[in-house]
Amino acid sequence: MYCGKCGAEVKKDSKFCPSCGEVLNESGNKNQSVKSEENSKNFQASSNENAEFTKTAQPTAVNLAKNNENTENYAQVQDNSSVNQMQNEYTQQPETAYNGQNINDDSTETDEKYDDMPTQPTAEKVRVGAARKFAAGILVPITAIFLVLMGTFISVKFGVKGDEVSKAVESVKTDTLFDEKAIDSKTLAQYIYGEMNQKFISKHNVKEENIENFIEKSDLKSYIADVTGKYADLVLQGKGKAAVSAEDISGFLKDNEGVIESEFGYRMQEKDYADIEKQFDEMEETKPLLPSNWKSEYGFDFRNIYIYMYVGMIVSAIVAVLLMIWQSKILCGNPKSMTNCYGTEILISGIIMVLFAIGMMIIKNSEKALLLTIAGAILKPSALLFGAVGGAEIIVGAVNLIIHSKIKKTEARSLH
C-alpha cells in the first residue's frame, strides 16, 4: 500500500504515513493507492538516477526517505520547467496593461509627448481651375495700367527739373520757331506781328521778316527757356517763383533795344514801354501766364500739382500691390499661375513705358510740330527715366515668366 499524498509505501495497517505524516484511512488509501502506484511507476521510469534504486531497494525506512527525497526533486524539476516555459512565453510577448497598451515599451511616454505637439501640415498641390485663371486674367490689364501710372508719376516728378527743362527748350532749333504754326494756326513771328500796334507797323514799315530776324538775333529763345524752367520747378517741385508779367516783357525789350533799333529803325522810349505793359495786361491770352490767375482761369491751382504727384505715386503703387494680392488669393497661391500672371502684367507695363519713351524721343527730334517738339524737349529727361523704369519692369516680368516656364516643366516631368 502507498501513501495517497507522497506516494511512499506504507504498511497495510498503518494510520500515518511514516514519510509525510499524512493521516491514512482505509477508503482513502484504497482509492488513492492506484494513483499513487501509477505516479511512483512513472517517476521511476523517467529518472535514470533512481532506476537502479527502484529495482534493488527494499522498503526500509532509509529507502523510503530516499524515495521521498527523489520524489520532491522530481516535482521541483517539473515545477521549474513549467516556470521556465512560462517565462519564455512571457518574454516573447510584450506586457500589456488592461487596456491593451504596451507597458514595457520605453517609447510610450515619448510618443505621447510628440503626439501632443502640433505637426506640420503636408503641402498639398493646389490646382487652379479655368474660372480662377480667367478672373485673375481680367485683373492683368488693370494692374498694368496702375503700374504705368506709377511709373509716369515717378518719371515726371523726379525727371522733370527746371534746369533740365531750360536746356531742353534752348536746344530747339530756331528754324522750327519760324516755320511751324504754334499759336492760333500762326507761326510765332506771325503771332507777334499780329499783336503789334498797327500805327507802329505802318510808320516803320515793319514786316514779318523783321520779326523773324529779331527772334533770331535777340535772346528770345533763352528767355523762353528760362521762364519755362521756372514754371517747371514751381509746378512739379513746388519751389521757386514763375510769372510772366507786363514788367517782364518790358524788361526783355529793354535788354534787346539794340536789336530792335537795327531791325526796325526805331529807338524805344519810356512811353513805348508803358503802352506795351498796358496792352499786355489787357490781353486775355496773357492772363494764364500769372500763377495767381490759374485758379480763376482753370478752376485749378497748378502750384499744387507736385502734391498730387506724390499722392498719385503712392495711390497707384498701393492699388497695384492690392490687385496683385487679390490675384494671389484668386489663384490660391499657386506659384505657376502667379508667376505667369505677374510676369505678364509687369511685362506689358514695361513695354508700354519703353514705347512711350521712344515716342517722346522721336517727337523731341521732330521738326514738324512746334508745340510737340517743345513738349518733347521738356519731357526728354522724364522720358529717359520713364524708359529706364520700363526697362526694369521688362526684366522683372521676363524673370517671372521664365520661373513660370521652369515650374511648368518640372510639374510635367513629375507626372511622367
The reply to whether 175 and 303 lie within a common domain is: yes
Domain finish residue from 90, 114, 146: 90
The reply to whether 184 and 83 lie within a common domain is: no
The reply to whether 204 and 64 lie within a common domain is: no
Give 17-65 pLDDT, tens digit per residue: 888 878 776 544 444 444 444 444 544 444 444 444 444 444 444 444 4
The reply to whether 208 and 322 lie within a common domain is: yes
Kindly tell me the burial class for residue 170, based on how many C-beta atoms sit within 10 Å of its own C-beta (0-12, 13-18, 19 or more).
middle
Compute the distance between CA of residue 238 and CA of residue 305 in angstroms, rounded to an integer: 8
**118 lies in a domain?**
no
**340 lies in a domain?**
yes
**349 lies in a domain?**
yes
Share of the chain above pLDDT 90, in %: 23
Compute the distance between CA of residue 49 and CA of residue 55 in angstroms, rounded to an integer: 12
Q: What values do phi and psi take at 16, rounded to 5?
A: -130, 150
The reply to whether 302 and 392 lie within a common domain is: yes
Q: What values do phi and psi take at 2, rounded to 5?
A: -125, 155
Tally of domains within the chain: 2
Dihedral of CA 267/268/271/276: which sign? positive
pTM above 0.85, yes or no: no
Give 331-348 pLDDT, tens digit per residue: 888 888 999 999 999 999
Query: Is the model's pLDDT at 236 over the cut of 50?
Result: yes
Q: What values do phi and psi take at 37, rounded to 5?
A: -65, -40
**252 lies in a domain?**
no
The boundaries of the domain holding residue 335 are 131-243+290-415
Compute the distance between CA of residue 115 and CA of residue 134 in angstroms, rounded to an integer: 43
Give 148-168 pLDDT, tens digit per residue: 999 999 998 888 888 888 887
